Copies of this chain bind each other. A is one copy, B any other.
Amino acid sequence: MAENVVIVGAVAVGAKAACRFKRLRQDANVTIIDKDELISYGGCGIPFYVAGDVSDETELRSTSFHMVRDEKFFLNDKGVVAMTGTEVTKIDRSNKKVHIKKSSGEEVDISYDKLVLATGSVPRKLDMPGTSLKNVFNVSNLRDAIAIKKKITQGEVEKAVIIGAGFIGLEMAQALADMWEIETTVIEYFDQVMPGFVSHSISLMAQRCMEKNGVSFHLEEIVQALEGDEYVAAVKTNKRTLPADMVIMSVGIVPNTILAKETGIDTGPGGHIIVNDRMQTSDPDIYSGGDCVVIKNLVTGKPAYIPLGSMANRQGRVIGTNLAGGDARFKGGVGSFVVKIFEKSLAGAGLTIDVARKEGFDAVSIQVAQFDRAHFYPEKEIIYLELVVDRKTRTVLGIQGWGGEGSEMVGRINAVVPLITNKARVEDVSNLEIAYSPPFASAMDIVNALGNTTENFLDGMYKPMQMDEFVECWESRDNGECFFLDCRADADAIPFQEKFPEIWKSIPHDELERRFDEVPRDKKIILLCNTGIRSYEAQINLAAHGIEDTVSVESGISGLKDCGMEF
């Protein structure tokens, strides 16, 4: 067992590993080294600090009992020596030493029995002019956050441009637009927000919600330069030039593994440190975790980069246990996430349909819309869930969703995560035991309905039309190939019928059995209702009468409207 543990990096994984190890080995020495003076902070809290929800940066580096986690705290409360403002410049593995350089300029060697590399990540850099202009920021550490907030609170920012529509980009956009009423525009290279994390239709729901709250978006747009003298004044893309007095770069992060590479530890193609399930690197005396490593994706079995504070914390504990001679394992992850979008939330886990297909799965996805609580309960809202499954094996590959004002969405995603991890089948989603009481769920909860609906699709009973297909179909509606059959009550459907008399017809579902004659047999029938329940039943009824060329629009009019569709 180790007597001297040295840890490089003192934000999430490093601090956790240090404290866990010290609790297990009160007699041992632990030193954590960080080049910054601000350590052990909750990086995921930065957007909330910028927004003003968190009033002071010290809160992000305090304990729940309001002690600031500084050198003194680590020493007195944890028995851990923290050396801040100190850079590790070299690792000498043969002599088991690290070479450090203090802010004072002093350089010394420190010996270790076991070493932990918790060097985290650095912002991905875009290769274009102007990134060094003033008022161009990353959101990679607490100093960036403090600088951004200072600019804002001084009233120096009127127009902000955010480059990148991932987690951080969306959270920062909200922070600026909502709390500070800054004119905020997000530019994204891909054709949707949260690319790789949710499907196109779910991304649209999040985007529309943000637009309603004042954030502008330009998708499929390439930023070519940041313009200005000294201070940034505009963002030039391949399509336009946007004035901006602040630019936030949130185009992702890359692992900070220079030290690891220099000392010859195995890294992968992306530069990430490779670790086993004990979080050990290729050098058994050196552990690593957090934003600088790849872990195992439990869906694909391949290496995955999941740089999240929660992953780092759990890995840190595993490292701490193993440093003390234990045998803890970190099996990997499925990349579950949640992001608050104004009053709603976007969450998911596992693979999206696009990623699943790229990974070689014969994947299909099914989306359903349903109230988050019993439909008779006064407080409720329609939320959306999408399941990604492998067609042949019926294995669950991923789940994503939109909606809910509290933990409704993330709670459901979390409940399905163990199923994804265990390679469960769609039937397990149908029968998943979701605790029921009207203020919390439906008797047949949306999670179960999602499983049921996916089963129905796989069994050939249900032929859905997805949002993208509907939009395409709607745009070419004048070609006379499709007919829109609205299964809602007349009060909802008649206005559509009156507006589009040639192609749209109201036949409430409970009248369908006696009005089959009114359904055209020479056209593709696009069945619609509010969320997709009645249109699904209508599809079955029509099939029994020999009308087979039908589709039922997934998530119904409700889903289309939440995707921004206007009729």
Contact = CB atoms under 8 A, between A and B. Distances in A.
A330 B408 CA distance: 26
A513 B510 CA distance: 75
A509 B444 contact: no
Interface stretch (A63-71, A223-231, A478-486, A516-524): A63-71
Interface stretch (A185-193, A243-251, A257-265, A336-344): A336-344
Interface string A515-544: 000000000000001110110010011011
Nearest to A59: B376
Interface in A195-220: none
Interface stretch (A129-137, A280-288, A428-436): A428-436
B377 A54 contact: yes
A549 interface: no
B452 A317 contact: yes
A65 B534 CA distance: 9
Interface in A432-457: 432-441, 443-445, 448, 452
Interface residues of A, number: 106
A333 interface: yes
A42 B437 contact: no
B60 A376 contact: yes
Interface in A274-296: none
B544 A27 contact: yes
Contacts of A371: 64
Contacts of A440: 338, 340, 345, 407, 410
Contacts of A432: 417-418
B42 A443 contact: yes
Contacts of A445: 310
Contacts of A310: 433-436, 441, 443-445
A45 B438 contact: yes
A314 B432 CA distance: 9
A489 B62 CA distance: 14
Contacts of A78: 537
A271 interface: no
A415 B489 CA distance: 38
Interface stretch (A86-94, A351-359, A419-427): A419-427
Contacts of A123: none
Interface in A15-38: 16, 23-24, 26-27
B65 A529 contact: yes
Contacts of A64: 370-371, 375, 531, 533
A495 to B, nearest CB: 16
Contacts of A347: 435
The residue among A333, A440, A452 with the most chain B CB atoms within 10 A of its own CB is A440
A156 interface: no
Interface string A357-397: 00000000000001100111110000000000000000000
A494 interface: no
Contacts of A470: none
A438 B407 contact: no
A473 interface: no
B77 A537 contact: yes
Contact of A406 (B23, B59, B407): B407
A163 B533 CA distance: 41
A76 interface: yes
A461 interface: yes
A414 interface: yes
Contacts of A370: 64
Contacts of A511: 76
A349 interface: yes
A121 to B, nearest CB: 16
Interface string A307-319: 0111011100110
B414 A422 contact: no
A53 interface: yes
A439 B314 contact: no
A328 interface: yes
30 contacts: A23-B540, A26-B541, A26-B544, A44-B438, A48-B377, A48-B439, A53-B378, A54-B377, A65-B530, A65-B534, A73-B510, A77-B509, A77-B537, A310-B434, A310-B435, A310-B441, A310-B444, A310-B445, A313-B444, A329-B427, A330-B431, A337-B435, A347-B435, A404-B407, A410-B435, A411-B414, A414-B415, A418-B419, A418-B422, A418-B432
Given A23-B537, A45-B376, 18 more contacts: A44-B374, A44-B436, A53-B377, A60-B376, A65-B530, A79-B513, A308-B436, A312-B443, A313-B443, A314-B444, A317-B430, A318-B431, A338-B441, A340-B437, A340-B440, A345-B440, A406-B408, A415-B415
